Amino acid sequence: MSILTIKNLSAGYSETYIVSNIDMVVHENEIVTIAGTNGAGKSTVLKAVMGLLPRVEGSAVFLGTELLRQPTEDRIRSGITYVPQVANVFGSMTVYENLQLTGEICGRPQGVREMFELFPVLAERRGTYAESLSGGERQQLAFARALLPRPKLILLDEPSAALSPALTGQVFEEVKRLKTMGVAVLMVEQRARQALAFSDRGYILDAGKIVLSGTGADLLGNEEMAELYLGRHPQPQTADA
Ligand SMILES: Nc1ncnc2c1ncn2[C@@H]1O[C@H](COP(=O)(O)OP(=O)(O)OP(=O)(O)O)[C@@H](O)[C@H]1O
Ligand SMILES: [Mg+2]
């Protein structure tokens, strides 16, 4: 069953549209990855779904309700949360304060304890200022803030950005864990080959339009498009591979 259906979405920051005529679907409990070159409009699609852009047309229906004319708070209340590409935690607040504030805003103060159970590292670091966390820890805090309101869909904008390959692996494990918790994920990723390998489906954006969509395996198997849009193969090809 689809939980988010985007139809004919066009969006931008001023008169001109940055993305246009986007059709996208996220089914219940799916991981869906949006890939594409820098500036293609990937973050813009997520911002449009969250209600953070001045210019949006088309439709985005979430669990039967049209989102595009709702304020952002109502979208969050209806079950969508968002982890932005940058500035996804309050750096000058401690881990505990970050979660406590999020719990207060969404009316779930008990969520703080739940998140400490889900992310033991955060419980250990509860008194640490978010700006002093390692990149991987900070991403866990950002995920915890997004999970606290008990969403049905989380939008993640480049969760692996600025992380080492080892930490990227850890963050991707966290993304898979969201799925096991029954949360659907719509994720933008620059490390697209790695992300598509565990995604149910994906979309490739170029210059504000969808140029290809399919299962993760389909997209990875399309050598010509993969070469163009998904970057070079991470492992060198060997004759007996
Ligand atoms: N705040 C903004 N104000 C005006 N224009 C913007 C703004 N943010 C982005 N844009 C424009 O929208 C285009 C698409 O930006 P977007 O951030 O959606 O790309 P992206 O695919 O997420 O790229 P990246 O991979 O670099 O994060 C940019 O090239 C830029 O011209
Ligand atoms: Mg972006």
* Domain assignment of residue 16, yes or no: yes
d(CA 154, CA 233): 28
Nearest Cα neighbor of 157 from 47, 76, 77, 58 is 47
Whole-angstrom CA distances from 15 to 5, 54, 205, 209 are: 25, 9, 21, 17
Q: Best substitution site from 16, 42, 155, 191 to test ligand 1's pocket, by max atoms within 8 Å of Cβ?
A: 42
**Structure confidence at residue 221 (pLDDT):** 92
Residue 41 Cα to ligand 1 midpoint, Å, equals 6
Query: Of 156, 151, 183, nearest to 171 (Cα)?
Result: 156
Token pair of 85 as six digits: 């590409």
Residues 57-97: tens digit of each pLDDT: 999 999 999 999 999 999 999 999 999 988 789 999 999 99
Residue 110 lies in a domain: no
Residue numbers of the domain that contains 71: 2-88+155-229
Q: Which residues line ligand 1 (CB under 6 A)?
A: 13, 18, 36, 38-44, 85
What the block records as the tokens of 40 is 């293609």
Confidence at residue 233, expressed as pLDDT on a 0 to 100 scale: 62
Categorize the per-residue pLDDT at 229 as very low, low, confident or very high, splitting at 50, 70 and 90: confident
How many percent of the chain have pLDDT more than 90? 83
Q: Which residues surround ligand 2, an ion (CB under 5 A)?
A: 42-43
Ligand nearest to the CA of 36: 1
Establish if 46 belongs to a structural domain.
yes
133 close to 95: Cβ distance less than 8 angstroms: yes
Distance 39 CA to ligand 2 centre (A): 7
How many Cβ atoms from other residues are within 10 Å of residue 217's Cβ? Answer: 14
| pLDDT at residue 232 tops 90 | no
CATH of the domain at 210: 3.40.50.300
Confidence of residue 236 (pLDDT cuts 50, 70, 90): very low
- 124, 115 in Cβ contact below 8 A? no
Contact 171, 163 (CB under 8 A): yes
Whole-number Å distance, alpha carbon 78 to ligand 1 midpoint, is 27
CB 145 within 8 A of CB 137: no
What is the residue-averaged pLDDT of the chain? 92
**Is 135 part of any domain?**
no
| Helix, strand or coil, per DSSP, at residue 230 | coil
Number of domains in the chain: 1
Of all atoms in ligand 1, which is nearest to the CA of residue 205? 21
Instruction: Please tell me the residue having the least CA distance from ligand 1 atom 27.
Output: 38
Could you tell me if residue 191 is inside a domain? yes
Provide the 3-class DSSP secondary structure of residue 147. Answer: helix
Q: What is the DSSP letter of 72?
A: H
Residues 115-138 pLDDT 10s: 999 999 999 999 999 999 988 899
Residue 154 corresponds to which tokens in the numbers above? Answer: 């989380």
Q: Whose Cα sits closest to atom 24 in ligand 1?
A: 38
Specify the pTM.
0.93
**Residue 46 pLDDT more than 70?**
yes
Looking at residue 179, what is its pLDDT? 93
SS3 call for 197: coil
Average pLDDT over residues 21-49: 96
In a domain, 178, yes or no: yes
Residue 126: inside a domain = no
Distance in angstroms (rounded) separating the CA atoms of residues 203 and 157: 14
148: in domain: no
Give the Å distance between the CA of 104 and the centre of ligand 1: 32
**176 CA distance to ligand 2 centroid (A)?**
21
Ligand 1 atom closest to Cα of 85?
27
pLDDT over 90 (residue 166): no
Mean pLDDT of 199-207: 97
Distance 44 CA to ligand 1 centre (A): 6
Rg of the chain (C-alpha set): 18
Token pair for 4: 């988010």
